[in-house]
């Protein structure tokens, strides 16, 4: 029997595998399957590329929209899904090859990791507000559990805090969904978008702001992101890499997808989204200057990059949007690399403090080199991928003759250099500071394989960004073209 | 294995030369959209590539001596790649890519020295990145003006648009050149960098800023070829016989060189002295670029060439002294002339060039710059430049006296041996090149300077013969001058040796006593150490020596840190505060939006 290649597998396969976790645990197949599932789904995404380039795929489940529910796979969703599975595959490979992360190798993290990625896929793919809420909760709850996975004090505290703030975000989002349903009687996003203009203006504002706060908390925008450093610091670095690389990207996409679809004139939201993005960028980069803990520093840096992406997406021009999507890809890769390397360094030094890591670069030259490489990419220095995407965003702004975001982005990058190079210097310092070394041995050489893969990807995308150009521009058009999306779901409007 | 790595490294260091010789035709590399990297070799970039091609292998040979591991070699090769990309770039994005690769690879090389402090590393990378980001900002302004990235003159430019374009670009290049007050990163990084790498920083990296400044002038409508009605003069009018905006640049350069010269005299450390002298020399070049005439640009290019050779020679020689003695401070050295004679001649030739004295080519280039200032009738600038140029004699003297003459002040200085051959080979080659250029300044002008001037649309300087340097205000014949100086040197030296044979050495340096104490071998008897102290009695000089920009930057860092601390208070770690803030922001935004909506 030939299985049809449909987007439903992105969600169904991880769920199926997760439910059978006890079986895999008995067969000792957990880690190969975790990696294999992601690779299979990555292959599926690749197989779907030609079809999606023609037209977006609509997968109806039982009843046709607007009454039924459906999955909507357009160019931008495909890009993100590919990114999620690529990142998850690299992480799974790392967990498989690196013996050191014992608490990520059992059946429980197996289930949670699969569900997290499935939830993110669902958020990106679904065409229905209530399903969106469900997937948001799936991703949220697995994220809470994942951050508390390492059952020490820090992990449990992080998990608890995450539950509290995540629930508040969910309440805001659910409130907005309820209001929308009351006003329009619809839950299908395209149908809601078609009717949204008919809602009274004050109600529109209330719905919009509830969505903004709910998704703003999840997407880590200032002033709703005060929880982020605590959670990233308490979680295992490998898990944090997934939060920063996959989870946030999904929420960010949902926020902008809804903003672009619901509002006939995106300029209404432009001032809010660009303002929040700019504030996030500036505040996070400044605060990061004084962080003595590597994980917190990376958390703030992640916030800064999210701010940059939000700033560029909020501008709603095709060039900045394509650049922002590209930057999402690059940021995911770079942060994955940074957090995983940080995990190795922290394990070796038995601490994440700056003083403890001093001089570690001479003992772990490869890890330190990869850290430098990823830092350069995050900073947007050529010839790495971060440069190409930042340049794309900047030229987008320059084309439109808008210069304040350019100044802001460059200033932010300078601040970012201020703290990244402080850590780089510390890694290569030859000081005679007392260095506390943990009992942990050096990681297995094979553990570096996924890290080197990421580094190679960063170099490749930096030197040859044209490889992704068509897909990125297509994705940007899909994200910005409101009319085509609505029409694609509901059929031609009278 | 090690030998293979070193061989590969040497081959990599010859890559700029290979590029210069072999490169033909253009190369295009698309990035995305309409952003395409174009690589081509224009005469101006060919000149600077020649500097890199000369300097790279000469600076690489001493590195072979170091027990440097392969990362150093790899980073150096990457640095060379960056400089080649920068120079070959026919568009701004390629220029920026090269600029950035150069910045971060040199930063990582800087970190390989055990002496580098956090403050030095941070000031190096942050100021250089500020320069890079200013460059990117300027490039984006250029893009919004012209709609493309290819480097060519902008067709039409108003004064304000000109400022928006020139401002960031000039900031970028002036930081790289290290003009006052943007020079903070130069002395400390040249000082603390690995000894063999300081030569590259001073001789090659600073020249990229010069390249940028000249490139900047060619962007303006009319470019350099327009004379007074084009370029800076066309945009902002002229002052006397030069462009008014160039006058500002001229003063920036001269003030830089005056400040740096006096700072150099007061340094106690050999490498720091050379760093400040490097700032001062590049300051002259900046001034000449401000003048922008054919004579001035010719002088700037010639001086860039000479300065590259001199600084390579001096930094390599000093690195040899540091290698053999382990000391870098003037007060610890002395009397090395008997132990390191070739190094002595290296420094001697170096300082003669540095001071701009005939017969070496430092004189020819400075002469061109002086004449260009007379030609523009900017006599105040000329006077200021002569002041700094004369004061430079003091630090030059110190550089030769303190390490080589007088009295050895430390056991290491007494037992040092001549530097190893890896240091001596480049030194001898550089000395030869300097003497040859001194003999034939006309040939240097014809070979290196005139093709660039022609390509920039300026009148070539020309020269009647190989040895002759000609300007409208007179010239000189290098061969004659060299013969006179050489003859005088031979006569004086032979007289000295002839007469010395009959002189009895009357006393040892220890045959003196003061305050009833008789010095022994451990008493420092070296006045090279305290030299420059008396300068503090001169009013303006004392002010310069008493002030530095360090406080300004330190204050800036403090303020930023304070802001970071303040904002970090928001990330308190208490969930109730997070929720409270979210709800408050929600309520406030709702109120504002509803009120603004007029409902």
Q: B242-243 and B27-32: which strand pairing?
A: unpaired
Over its length of 494 residues, how does chain A's per-residue pLDDT go in tens digits?
Answer: 456 778 888 888 888 888 888 888 888 888 888 899 999 999 999 988 888 888 888 877 767 666 677 888 889 999 999 999 999 999 999 988 887 777 888 888 888 999 999 999 999 998 888 889 999 999 999 999 998 887 788 888 888 999 999 999 999 999 999 999 998 888 888 888 888 888 888 888 889 889 999 999 999 998 888 889 988 988 888 899 999 999 999 999 999 999 988 887 777 778 888 999 999 999 999 999 988 899 999 999 999 999 999 999 999 889 999 999 999 999 999 999 999 999 999 888 888 888 888 888 888 889 999 999 999 999 999 889 999 999 999 999 999 999 999 999 999 999 999 999 999 999 988 765 445 555 566 777 888 999 999 999 999 999 999 999 889 999 999 888 888 888 888 775 54
Give the pLDDT of residue A119. Answer: 93
According to the per-residue pLDDT averaged within each range, which of B235-249, B318-332, B423-437 is highest?
A: B423-437
Q: Residue B137 and residue A415: Cβ atoms within 8 Å?
A: no
Select from A166, A77, A22, A34 the least CA-distant residue to A475. A77
Q: Residue A414 and residue B126: Cβ atoms within 8 Å?
A: yes
Structure tokens at B489: 């040197």
Give how far Cα B574 sits from Cα of A150, A226, B346, Å. 21, 9, 66
Select from B563, B569, B586, B566 the least CA-distant residue to A224. B586
Each residue's pLDDT tens digit, B315-348: 999 999 999 998 888 888 888 888 899 999 999 9
Given a cut of 60, whether residue B21 has pLDDT beyond it is: yes
Integer Cα distance of A140 and B178 in angstroms: 52
Q: A69-73 and B27-32: which strand pairing?
A: unpaired
Give the pLDDT of residue A320. Answer: 93
- For chain B positions 54-83, those within 8 Å of chain A (CB to CB) are 71
Within B66-91, residue ranges assigned H as helices are 70-88
Beta pairing partners, A69 = A61
Query: Torsion angle, CA of A221/A223/A224/A230, rounded to 10 degrees?
Result: 90
Query: ∠B298-B300-B302 over CA atoms, to 5°?
Result: 70
Give the pLDDT of residue B69. Answer: 76
Give how far Cα B108 sits from Cα of A339, A381, B64, B111, B193, Å. 22, 14, 18, 5, 10
- CB burial of B141-165 (b: ≥16 within 10 Å; e: otherwise) equals bbbbbbeebebebeeebeeeebbbb
Integer Cα distance of A399 and A384 in angstroms: 23
Structure tokens at A238: 């490998």
Cα-to-chain-centroid distance, residue A302: 10
Beta pairing partners, A353 = A293
A424/B contact by beta carbon, under 8 A: yes
B30/A contact by beta carbon, under 8 A: yes
Integer Cα distance of A438 and B513 in angstroms: 61
Give the pLDDT of residue B530. Answer: 66
- Judge residue A137's burial from the number of C-beta atoms within 10 Å of its C-beta, 0-12 exposed, 13-18 middle, 19 or more buried: middle
- φ, ψ for residue B416 (rounded to 5)? -60, 155
B562/A contact by beta carbon, under 8 A: no
B119/A contact by beta carbon, under 8 A: no
Q: Which residues contact B515 (CB under 8 A, 6 or more apart)?
A: none
Select from B237, B277, B271, B239 the least CA-distant residue to B256. B277
- φ, ψ for residue A128 (rounded to 5)? -140, 135
Give how far Cα B398 sits from Cα of B230, B360, B394, Å. 44, 19, 6
Select from B377, B443, B150 the least CA-distant residue to B243. B377
Residues of B in contact with A397 (CB under 8 A): 140
Which is more confident, B261 or B541?
B261
Q: Residue A293, SS3?
A: strand
Query: Torsion angle, CA of A49/A50/A56/A57, rounded to 10 degrees?
Result: -80
Residues of A in contact with B586 (CB under 8 A): 172, 209-210, 213
Secondary structure letter of residue B419 according to DSSP:
P
Which is more confident, A3 or B552?
B552
CA distance B149 to chain A (A): 10
Secondary-structure breakdown of chain B: helix, strand, coil percentages, each rounded to the nearest 5: 70, 5, 25
Give the pLDDT of residue B464. Answer: 85
Which is more confident, B68 or A384?
A384
Given a cut of 60, whether residue B394 has pLDDT beyond it is: yes
Give the pLDDT of residue A363. Answer: 84
Element (H, E) at A330: helix A318-349
Find the closest chain A residue to B585 by CA distance: A223
Which residue reads 């805090």 in tokens?
A161
Which is more confident, B588 or A57?
B588
A175/B contact by beta carbon, under 8 A: no
Interface test with A, best of B31, B32, B137, B562 (most A CBs within 10 A): B32
Average pLDDT over residues B284-293: 92
Which is more confident, B359 or B175?
B175
Q: Residue A465 and residue B31: Cβ atoms within 8 Å?
A: yes
Each residue's pLDDT tens digit, B127-174: 999 999 999 999 999 999 888 898 888 877 888 888 889 999 999 999
**Residue of B101, B121, B593 lying closest to A205 (CB–CB):** B593
Each residue's pLDDT tens digit, B489-515: 999 999 988 887 666 666 666 666 666
Q: Residue B514, SS3?
A: strand
Element (H, E) at B477: strand B476-477
Give chain B's mean pLDDT: 88
Query: ∠B232-B235-B236 over CA atoms, to 5°?
Result: 85
Q: Residue A428 and residue B112: Cβ atoms within 8 Å?
A: yes
A209/B contact by beta carbon, under 8 A: yes
B104/A contact by beta carbon, under 8 A: yes
Give the pLDDT of residue B524. Answer: 60
Under 8 Å CB pairs connecting chains A and B tally to 154
Q: B242-243 and B238-239: which strand pairing?
A: antiparallel
Give how far Cα A12 sits from Cα of A121, B51, B247, B541, Å. 10, 63, 72, 78
Each residue's pLDDT tens digit, B470-489: 888 888 888 999 999 999 99
Range with the lowest mean pLDDT among A77-91, B37-51, B545-559?
A: B545-559
Q: Residue B122 and residue A226: Cβ atoms within 8 Å?
A: no
CA distance A266 to chain B (A): 16
Element (H, E) at B31: strand B27-32
Find the closest chain B residue to A407 by CA distance: B137
Range with the lowest mean pLDDT among B8-12, B33-37, B248-252, B268-272?
A: B33-37
- For chain B positions 454-513, those within 8 Å of chain A (CB to CB) are none
Which residue reads 């702004």 in tokens?
A397
Structure tokens at A460: 């490749």
Full-model pTM? 0.93
Q: Residue B28, SS3?
A: strand
Select from A13, A16, A4, A12 the least CA-distant residue to A57. A4
Select from A76, A235, A82 the least CA-distant residue to A151. A235
Q: Residue A388 and residue B31: Cβ atoms within 8 Å?
A: yes
Q: Residue A417 and residue B126: Cβ atoms within 8 Å?
A: yes
Give the pLDDT of residue A437. Answer: 55
**Residue of B33, B125, B582 lying closest to A213 (CB–CB):** B582
Give the pLDDT of residue A6. Answer: 82
- Please check whether residue B316 is in contact with residue B347, taking contact to mean a CB–CB distance below 8 angstroms: no
Give how far Cα B405 sits from Cα of B114, B357, B424, Å. 30, 21, 20
Cα-to-chain-centroid distance, residue A4: 28
Give the pLDDT of residue B177. Answer: 92
Give the pLDDT of residue A473. Answer: 92
Q: How confident is the model at residue B97 (pLDDT cuts 50, 70, 90)?
A: very high
- CB burial of A18-53 (b: ≥16 within 10 Å; e: otherwise) equals beebeebeeeeebbebbbebbebbbebbeebeeebe
Give the pLDDT of residue A142. Answer: 93
Secondary structure letter of residue A73 according to DSSP:
E
């Amino acid at each position: 029997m030939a299985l049809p290649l449909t987007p439903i597998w992105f969600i169904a396969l991880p769920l199926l595998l997760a439910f059978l976790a006890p079986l895999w645990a008995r067969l000792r197949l957990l880690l190969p399957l975790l990696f294999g599932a992601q690779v299979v789904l990555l292959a599926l995404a690749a197989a779907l590329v030609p079809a999606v380039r023609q037209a977006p795929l609509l997968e109806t489940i039982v009843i046709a929209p607007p009454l039924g529910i459906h999955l909507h796979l357009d160019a931008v969703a495909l890009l993100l899904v590919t990114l999620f599975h690529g990142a998850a595959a690299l992480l799974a490979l790392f967990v498989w090859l690196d013996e050191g992360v014992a608490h990520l190798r059992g059946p429980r993290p197996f289930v949670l990791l699969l569900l997290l990625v499935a939830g993110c896929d669902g958020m990106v793919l679904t065409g229905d507000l209530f399903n969106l809420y469900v997937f948001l909760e799936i991703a949220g709850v697995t994220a809470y559990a994942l951050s508390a996975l390492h059952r020490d004090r820090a992990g449990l505290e992080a998990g608890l805090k995450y539950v509290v703030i995540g629930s508040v975000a969910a309440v805001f989002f659910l409130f907005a969904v309820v209001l929308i349903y009351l006003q329009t009687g619809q839950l299908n996003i395209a149908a809601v978008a078609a009717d949204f203009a008919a809602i009274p203006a004050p109600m529109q504002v209330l719905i919009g702001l509830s969505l903004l706060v709910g998704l703003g908390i999840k997407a880590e925008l200032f002033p709703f992101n005060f929880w982020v450093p605590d959670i990233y610091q308490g979680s295992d670095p490998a898990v944090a890499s997934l939060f920063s690389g996959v989870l946030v990207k999904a929420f960010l996409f949902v926020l902008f997808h809804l903003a672009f679809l619901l509002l006939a004139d995106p300029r209404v939201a432009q001032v809010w989204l660009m303002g929040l993005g700019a504030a996030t960028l500036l505040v996070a980069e400044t605060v990061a200057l004084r962080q003595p803990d590597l994980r917190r520093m990376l958390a703030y840096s992640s916030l800064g990059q999210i701010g940059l992406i939000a700033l560029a997406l909020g501008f709603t021009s095709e060039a900045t949007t394509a650049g922002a999507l590209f930057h999402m890809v690059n940021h995911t890769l770079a942060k994955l690399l940074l957090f995983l390397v940080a995990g190795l360094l922290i394990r070796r030094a038995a601490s994440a403090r700056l003083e403890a890591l001093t001089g570690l670069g001479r003992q772990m030259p490869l890890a330190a080199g990869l850290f430098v490489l990823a830092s350069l990419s995050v900073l947007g220095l050529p010839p790495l991928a971060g440069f190409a995407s930042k340049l794309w965003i900047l030229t987008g702004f320059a084309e439109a003759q808008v210069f304040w975001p350019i100044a802001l982005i460059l200033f932010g990058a300078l601040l970012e250099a201020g703290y990244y190079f402080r850590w780089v210097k510390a890694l290569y310092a030859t000081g005679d500071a007392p260095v506390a070394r943990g009992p942990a041995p050096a990681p297995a050489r094979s553990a570096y394989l996924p890290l080197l893969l990421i580094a190679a990807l960063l170099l490749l995308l930096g030197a040859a960004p044209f490889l992704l150009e068509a897909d990125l521009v297509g994705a940007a058009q899909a994200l910005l073209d409101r009319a085509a999306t609505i029409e694609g779901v509901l059929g031609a409007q009278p | 294995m090690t030998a293979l790595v070193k061989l590969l490294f040497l081959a990599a260091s010859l890559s700029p030369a290979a590029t210069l010789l072999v490169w033909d035709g253009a190369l295009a590399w698309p990035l995305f959209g309409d952003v395409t990297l174009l690589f081509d070799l224009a005469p101006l970039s060919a000149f600077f590539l020649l500097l890199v091609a000369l300097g790279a292998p000469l600076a690489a040979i001493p590195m072979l001596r170091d027990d440097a591991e392969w990362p150093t070699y790899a980073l150096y090769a990457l640095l060379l790649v960056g400089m080649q990309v920068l120079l070959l770039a026919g568009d701004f994005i390629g220029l920026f890519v090269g600029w950035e690769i150069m910045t971060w690879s040199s930063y990582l090389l800087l970190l390989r020295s055990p002496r580098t402090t956090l403050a030095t590393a941070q000031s190096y990378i942050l100021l250089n990145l500020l320069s890079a980001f200013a460059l990117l900002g300027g490039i984006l302004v250029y893009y919004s003006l012209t709609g493309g990235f290819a480097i060519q003159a902008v067709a039409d430019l108003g004064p304000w648009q000109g400022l928006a374009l020139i401002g960031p670009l000039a900031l970028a290049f002036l930081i790289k050149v290290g003009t006052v007050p943007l020079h903070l990163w130069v002395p400390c990084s040249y000082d603390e960098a690995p000894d063999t790498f300081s030569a590259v920083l001073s001789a090659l990296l600073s020249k990229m800023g010069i390249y940028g400044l000249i490139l900047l002038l060619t962007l303006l409508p009319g470019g350099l070829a327009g004379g007074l009605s084009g370029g800076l003069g066309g945009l902002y009018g002229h002052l006397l016989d030069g462009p008014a905006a160039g006058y500002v640049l001229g003063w920036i350069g001269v003030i830089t060189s005056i400040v740096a010269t006096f700072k150099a005299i007061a340094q106690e450390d050999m490498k720091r002295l050379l760093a400040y002298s490097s700032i001062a020399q590049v300051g002259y070049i900046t001034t000449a670029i401000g003048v922008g005439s054919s004579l001035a640009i010719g002088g700037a290019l010639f001086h860039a060439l000479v300065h590259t050779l001199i600084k390579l020679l001096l930094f390599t020689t000093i690195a040899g002294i540091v290698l053999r003695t382990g000391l870098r401070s003037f007060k610890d050295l002395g009397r090395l002339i008997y132990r390191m004679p070739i190094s002595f001649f290296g420094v001697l030739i170096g300082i003669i060039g540095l001071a701009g004295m005939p017969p070496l080519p430092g004189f020819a280039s400075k002469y061109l710059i002086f004449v260009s200032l007379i030609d523009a009738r900017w006599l105040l600038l000329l006077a200021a430049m002569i002041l700094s140029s004369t004061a430079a004699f003091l630090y030059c003297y110190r550089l030769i006296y303190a390490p080589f003459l007088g009295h050895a002040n430390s056991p290491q200085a007494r037992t040092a041996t001549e530097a190893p051959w890896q240091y001596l080979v480049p030194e001898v080659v550089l000395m030869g090149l300097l003497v040859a250029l001194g003999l034939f300044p006309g040939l240097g002008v014809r070979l290196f300077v005139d093709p660039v001037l022609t390509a920039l649309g300026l009148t070539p300087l020309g020269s009647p013969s190989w040895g002759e340097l000609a300007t409208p205000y007179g010239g000189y014949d290098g061969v004659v001058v060299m013969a006179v100086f050489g003859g005088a040197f031979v006569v004086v030296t032979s007289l000295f040796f002839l007469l010395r044979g009959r002189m009895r050495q009357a006393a040892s340096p220890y045959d003196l006593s003061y305050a009833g104490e008789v010095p022994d071998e451990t008493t420092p008897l070296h006045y090279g150490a305290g030299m420059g102290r008396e300068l503090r009695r001169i009013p303006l000089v004392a002010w310069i020596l008493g002030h530095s920009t360090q406080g300004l930057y330190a204050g800036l860092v403090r303020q930023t840190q304070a802001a970071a601390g303040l904002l970090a208070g928001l990330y308190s770690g208490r969930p109730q505060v997070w929720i409270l803030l979210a709800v408050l922001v929600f309520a406030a935004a709702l109120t504002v939006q509803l009120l603004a909506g007029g409902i």
